[in-house]
Structure formats: C-alpha cells, structure tokens
C-alpha cells in the first residue's frame, strides 16, 4: 500500500502472512477426506442395498406367489400392497387374470363333464341294445329293427358331437383375442 505525505510518495507498506497454517489445514483436510471417502462410499453402498432390497420385497413376494400357482392350485392370490401404487395395480391385474383363468378352467371342466355325459348315455343305450341283440337268435325283422334303432342312436350321438364341437369352437377365443383381452 503506498504511503503519501503531502501528495508525495514516501514509501510502501507491505503486509504478508505465512501460508504454513493454511497449507497444514488443507493437508489435514486432504488426509481426512482420503480416510472418510472410502468409508462413506462403503456406507452408501450398504444403505442403498438395504433400501433397494426393501423396495423390491413386494416384487419378490409377487414372484414367490405366482411361482406357487399351478393349473391345479389356482386358489392362491397375490397379496395387495397397502399403498395404491404401480405394484398394487400389478398385483390386482395378476389376481384378476388368475380369476379369469380359474373361471375358464372351471368352464372347461364343466364342458368336459357335460360332453362326457351326453356321449356316454347314448353309448350305453347302444351297447345294451347290441348286447340284447346277440344273446339269442332273432328274426330278420327284429335284427333290422334293432340295427335301425342303433343307427338312430349313432345319428343322435353324431349330432350331439357336432353341437359340442361347434360350441367349443365358438367358445374358444383365438390367440389374438386372448392377447388383446389380456393386454387391453
């Protein structure tokens, strides 16, 4: 800083400070950071792993439940999370899909049972008629009558079978219908 007296320059004042203290503080700070940085990174890794594990726990639960579900065990359902978020929607959608699959399988079982009954009854009648026919000698007219009756039962069975197959074709959606129904 210049020193002036009566507008005449008399000298300068120079002030200086030692950098040793500042250098020591910066060196200590550097050493502290070198020690703390790895500890902080490791700590953050474990904390983030813990939080990530907690956040995907509902997904693991959904996976575990869906892995237990089979064609013969459709009673299990995915537990719905408390918060109404995307996982809640996903769980609800999976449960609704399971309900639709269960209803479809029940309809299939009922169809199989009905078809079995509709075909066994005429078969039993036909078998009984043919067994009676071969037990003893009959006249040609009786044979013709029993054969015509048997042919009528076969026609009835063919008609019933055609109806069942038509019903099955109409009731079974195509692959694209299933795809768009499930997505939409």
Rounded Cα distance, 94 and 104, in Å:
15
- Per-residue pLDDT tens digits for 75-96: 888 888 888 888 889 889 988 9
- Per-residue pLDDT tens digits for 109-119: 888 888 888 88
What does DSSP assign to residue 72?
A: T
- Per-residue pLDDT tens digits for 4-61: 888 888 888 888 778 888 899 999 999 999 999 999 999 999 999 999 988 888 888 8
pTM over 0.85: no
The full DSSP string for 87-121 is: HHHHHHHHHHHHHHHHHHHHHHHHHHHHHHHHHHH
Rounded Cα distance, 87 and 54, in Å:
13
The full DSSP string for 14-55 is: -----SHHHHHHHHHHHHHHHHHHHHHHHHHHHHHHHHHHHH
Give whole-number Cα distances, 56 to 44, 51, 115, 148, in Å: 18, 9, 47, 71
């Amino acid at each position: 800083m210049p020193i002036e007296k009566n507008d005449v320059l008399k000298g300068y004042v120079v002030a200086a400070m030692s950098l040793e203290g500042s250098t020591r503080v910066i060196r200590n700070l550097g050493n502290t950071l070198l020690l703390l940085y790895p500890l902080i990174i490791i700590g953050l890794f474990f904390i983030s792993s813990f939080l990530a594990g907690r956040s995907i726990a509902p997904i693991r639960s959904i996976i575990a439940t869906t892995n237990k579900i089979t064609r013969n065990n459709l009673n299990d359902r995915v537990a719905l999370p408390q918060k109404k978020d995307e996982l809640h929607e996903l769980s609800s959608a999976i449960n609704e899909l399971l309900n639709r699959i269960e209803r479809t399988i029940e309809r299939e079982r009922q169809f199989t049972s009905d078809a079995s009954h509709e075909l066994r009854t005429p078969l039993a009648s036909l078998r009984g008629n043919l067994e009676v026919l071969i037990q003893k000698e009959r006249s040609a007219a009786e044979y013709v009558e029993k054969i015509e009756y048997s042919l009528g039962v076969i026609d009835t069975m063919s008609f019933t079978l055609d109806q069942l197959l038509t019903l099955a074709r109409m009731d079974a959606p195509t692959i694209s219908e299933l795809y768009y129904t499930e997505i939409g």
